Amino acid sequence: MTKVPLTTAGTETKLDELFALAQPELDAQAMAVATDFIGWINDNFELSTQEQSYLTSADEDFMRLLSSIVFVAVRNRLPVNFTKSPITLAVKRFETAASFNFGYQWGGTLEKTSDINLDIVYL
């Protein structure tokens, strides 16, 4: 897998690359997201020194929650909206909002809608 910039466009490119995989390979990537999120980010995104520092210094509970959201999105081929503020000299904050809505009638098709937003903002 190729490394991409940690930007909106880079994230879209990475999701396209992931979603082109067969399900067993996608499952392996999703498990890497769930079990070694920092390592997976390092392997898949080009990070600045500052971004690397933020990643390695993040609270463990936050990383577990974030990786859980990304795991569900990746494994189920759900879109993720990622934005990153171009301002980098203020206090950094990561905000998430996720909703997963699924409906299934036996013998029918799976209906799914999701809204996954990951935003890096500066205050």
Can you tell me the distance from the alpha carbon of 115 to that of 5, in angstroms, rounded to the nearest whole number? 23
The helix/strand/coil state of 107 is coil
Show Cβ contacts of residue 71 under 8 Å, excluding neighbours closer than 6 positions: 30, 31, 33, 34
Could you give the angle at the alpha carbon of 16 between the alpha carbons of 1 and 99, nearest 5°?
A: 115
% of the chain with per-residue pLDDT over 70 = 93
Mean pLDDT for the stretch of residues 53-68: 88
Cα 111 to the center of its chain, rounded Å: 22
Strands 92-104 and 110-122: antiparallel
Identity of the residue numbered 80? V
State the pTM of this model: 0.83
Q: What is the pLDDT of residues 10-35, one digit of tens each?
A: 999 999 999 999 999 999 999 999 99
pLDDT value for 84: 81
Q: Could you state, in order of their start, the residue ranges of all structural domains in the chain?
A: 4-122
